Amino acid sequence: MFIDKAKLFMAAGKGGDGCMAFRREKYVALGGPFGGNGGNGGNIVIVADRNFKTLLDLQRHPHYKSEKGEHGQGKNCHGRSADDLIVKVPLGTVVRKDGEIIADLVNDGQSIIVARGGRGGRGNSSFKSSRNTAPRIAEKGQPGEECTVDLELKIIADVGIIGYPNAGKSTFLSKISFAKPKIADYPFTTLSPNLGVVQFFDKSFVFADIPGLIDGASHGKGLGHDFLRHIERTKVLLHIVDAFGYENKNAYSTYVAINKELKSYSLVLAKKIQIIAVNKIDVPGTEKAVKLFKKKKKNVFPISALKGTGIKPLLAEILRKVKTVKEEKPKEIQSVHYKYEPEFVVNKVGDAFEIIGKKITDLVAMTDFSEPESFGRFQNIMKKIGVNKKLKEKGIVQGSIVRAGDYEFTYEE
Ligand SMILES: Nc1nc2c(ncn2[C@@H]2O[C@H](COP(=O)(O)OP(=O)(O)OP(=O)(O)O)[C@@H](O)[C@H]2O)c(=O)[nH]1
Ligand SMILES: [Mg+2]
């Protein structure tokens, strides 16, 4: 099965907790802080790998979770950071987060971090200062990022084969490559794209055979619509026309109709170089159709995909045209969309107040509220970044309930 879409749920590992410990050695009085930092949680990284062909496996296993960082320990031992979790996708995978494209992975090995692991919490050694030589403060690990990611595979081929159903597209592909697509004497035999590699002297080219297009394809009729986007990135199009036409259309009318569909689907497609082949000339009586076609359009290649007639000059022309099209540079979009977010927002909910924002929820998650000194630090940070001021503006009074992340406390002046 050919699967070209998947939605993945990512949960990156939390950072390890920082350690609170004190030096306890013989002959060393008043040992100082001795707690190491936690290790970082693992990132989740999506990597393009040319050995993968579809998104099927990913669609079946949509949940990914990277490891946590190890906790820090005494004697200033830092916790080990977790390894990144690698998720492999086929070349041509477009990665979206919140509907925005964040990467277009077209080269082998190209990657993007989609969910960042949490930072390891700092141990109490890190909080030592001239004013506080024995801090009882250690951060807990930062939570890892959680997100959903939408993947979409857009095949990367040099040549896209288009045409009405039953025109002989798959037959052509099977003739020029080792691909073994299903071929049959009825429309819509091909249900998903087939790729074939054509060796031409020292170069190889990839051809993509997509399901047949019909009138209204650009608006979802037939099967073709879903697959039109796969040929958006091809360099040229090979338009195979059945010499007998399709249903009540003659060969030339099918050519015109498909071009109309391409145009209403995307201008990019409509503007692509198209090489036209009129197929099935082994059948007696097709000369007339070819002649008629040639009156309207000079550059046409009469072929028989079945018998192999006329294929060499056609291939030579296609490959000559492919070489004239510049290689499209992959889009490296990685996080160019910088979203401005305020550090925090204070809302009044009934009589209570809630503080929202990643900075605050992280701070709450990383604070050990059972240690008065840690709690003191929490309060200082809230004051420093202006949370207290905002709470007062919103009308907070002594004893009001304040919620931040999972934490709830009563406000005291
Ligand atoms: N006589 C003759 N028959 C052909 C030729 N090329 C294809 N056919 C026949 O036409 C029918 C359709 O061929 P396919 O290759 O499956 O056509 P397709 O364009 O891939 O069709 P869809 O996948 O349905 O869109 C089959 O019965 C083929 O054997 C040809 O050059 N000559
Ligand atoms: Mg086919």
Number of domains in the chain: 3
The Å distance, Cα 264 to ligand 1 centre, comes to 26
Q: Return per-residue pLDDT of the chain as tens, 413 residues.
A: 567 889 999 999 999 999 999 988 776 656 788 999 999 999 999 999 988 878 888 989 999 999 999 999 999 999 999 999 999 998 889 999 988 888 888 888 999 999 999 999 999 999 998 888 889 999 999 999 999 999 998 877 899 999 999 999 999 999 998 888 888 888 888 887 888 888 877 777 889 998 888 887 777 777 766 778 778 888 999 999 999 999 999 999 999 999 999 998 888 889 999 999 999 999 998 998 899 999 998 899 999 999 999 999 999 999 999 989 887 665 555 544 455 667 889 999 999 999 998 889 999 999 999 999 999 999 999 899 999 999 999 999 999 999 988 889 888 87
Ligand 1 centroid distance, CA of 5 (Å): 29
| pLDDT for 336 | 44
Which residue, 297, 286, 23, is CA-closest to 168? 286
Evaluate whether residue 53 is within a structural domain.
Answer: yes
Three-state SS annotation for 14-31: CCCCCCCCECCECCECCC
pLDDT in the model for residue 35: 93
d(CA 82, CA 66): 8
Residues 146 and 284 in one domain: no
**Which atom of ligand 1 sits closest to the CA of residue 165?**
25
Atom of ligand 1 nearest to the CA of 211: 25
For 372, counting Cβ atoms within 10 Å of its Cβ (0-12 exposed, 13-18 middle, 19+ buried), the class is: exposed
Q: Give CA–CA dist 224/188, Å, rounded.
A: 9
Q: What is the pLDDT of residue 309?
A: 95
Ligand 1: centre distance to CA 325 (Å): 29
Residue to probe by mutation, ligand 1, list 171, 226, 303, most atoms within 8 Å of CB: 171
Nearest protein CA to atom 1 of ligand 1, as residue = 280
Residue whose CA is at the smallest distance from ligand 1 atom 16: 183
Work out which ligand 1 atom sits closest to the CA atom of 171: 15
Residue with tokens 């192999």: 308
| Digit-coded pLDDT (tens) for 331-362 | 555 544 455 667 889 999 999 999 998 889 99
Are 40 and 126 in the same domain?
A: yes
CA nearest neighbour of 149 among 112, 188, 200: 112
Q: 84 lies in a domain?
A: yes
3-state helix, strand, coil split of the chain in percent (to 5) is 25, 25, 50
Is 188 in the same domain as 148? Answer: no
CA atoms of 43 and 14, how far apart (whole Å): 10
> Which ligand has the nearest atom to the CA of 184?
1
Residue at 244: amino acid letter: F
Q: What are phi and psi of 244, to 5 degrees?
A: -90, 0
Instruction: Give the tokens for residue 337.
Output: 């969309």
The answer to whether residues 19 and 79 belong to one domain is yes
Contact 272, 325 (CB under 8 A): no
**Does 39 lie in the same domain as 119?**
yes
Give the number of the ligand closest to the Cα of residue 172. 1
Domain contains 92? yes
Can you tell me which residue has the tokens 């990132």? 43
The residue nearest atom 13 of ligand 1, judged by CA position, is 168
Name the domain boundary from 95, 118, 153.
Answer: 153
In 179-244, DSSP assigns E strands to 194-200, 203-209, 236-242
CA of 82 to the centre of ligand 1 (A): 54
Is there a single domain that holds both residue 125 and residue 215? no
Q: Which residues line ligand 1 (CB under 6 A)?
A: 163, 165-171, 183-185, 187-190, 211-212, 279-280, 282-283, 304-306
Rounded to an integer, what distance in angstroms lies between the CA atom of residue 316 and that of residue 307? Answer: 18
Same domain, 279 and 349: no
Whole domain around residue 385: which residue ranges? 345-410
63 by DSSP, 3-state: which?
strand
Q: How far is the CA of 219 from the centre of ligand 1 (A)?
A: 25
Same domain, 214 and 124: no
Q: Is the pTM of this model over 0.85?
A: no
Same-domain pairing of 353 and 314:
no
Please, how many CA atoms are within 13 Å of residue 309, restricted to the half-sphere of its CB? Answer: 11
Backbone angles phi, psi at 373, to 5 degrees: -70, -40
Q: Which atom of ligand 1 lies at the shortest distance from residue 174's CA? A: 15
Q: Which neighbouring-strand residues pair with 207?
A: 159, 196
Instruction: Answer positive or negative: Cα dihedral of 175, 180, 181, 183.
Output: positive
Q: Are residues 349 and 282 located together in one domain of the fold?
A: no
Burial class (CB in 10 A: 0-12, 13-18, 19+), 343: exposed
Single out the residue in 153, 173, 199 at which a domain terminates: 153
- Domain shared by 251 and 360, yes or no: no
CA separation for the pair 22, 39 (Å, rounded):
20
Nearest to 113 by CA among 8, 12, 14: 12
Atom of ligand 1 nearest to the CA of 309: 31
* Residue where a domain terminates, one of 111, 138, 153: 153
What is the Cα–Cα distance from 274 to 301, expressed in whole angstroms? 12
CA distance 153 to 23: 56
Atom of ligand 1 nearest to the CA of 182: 16
Condensed to tens digits (0 to 9), the pLDDT of residues 170-224 reads 999 999 988 888 888 888 888 878 888 888 777 778 899 988 888 877 777 777 6
Within 283-334, strands assigned E span 300-302
